[in-house]
Amino acid sequence: ETGVTQTPRHLVMGMTNKKSLKCEQHLGHNAMYWYKQSAKKPLELMFVYNFKEQTENNSVPSRFSPECPNSSHLFLHLHTLQPEDSALYLCASSQDLVGSSYNEQFFGPGTRLTVL
């Protein structure tokens, strides 16, 4: 596997279900991100991890719970979601958060989530 992988690619869940999204990066990067992408809207940054430590939580509801056990893996645990949470959830990584040069973000293919 190369780059950034995400599983599952598609997920349908009821509002009472609990599920988890998984992201793995094979690039040796130190920073990882969760984004929400809804149609015709800007990407919304949800969480940022740098060296396994959460550095940002952009007012995300508690029904979304991130976990970063190491620099290569990132999870998003989901519970009691709402239909408006249906979207494409993208994981990304970058070499670092800060630096003297731009840190390009590498994205996974995303998980298409549908909440019924």
Partner 1 sequence: GQSLEQPSEVTAVEGAIVQINCTYQTSGFYGLSWYQQHDGGAPTFLSYNALDGLEETGRFSSFLSRSDSYGYLLLQELQMKDSASYFCAVLLDSNYQLIWGAGTKLIIKP
Question: Where on the chain is the footprint of partner 1 (CB under 8 A)?
Answer: 4, 40-43, 45, 48, 56, 90, 92, 97-98, 102-110
In the complex, what is the shortest distance from the CB of residue 34 to partner 1, in angstroms, rounded to a whole number?
12
In the complex, what is the shortest distance from the CB of residue 7 to partner 1, in angstroms, rounded to a whole number?
14
Start-to-end C-alpha separation, the chain:
32
- Supply the DSSP string of 64-105, one letter for each residue: EEEEEEETTEEEEEEES--GGG-EEEEEEEES-SS-SS----
In the complex, what is the shortest distance from the CB of residue 110 to partner 1, in angstroms, rounded to a whole number?
7
Closest CB to partner 1 among residues 36, 85: 36
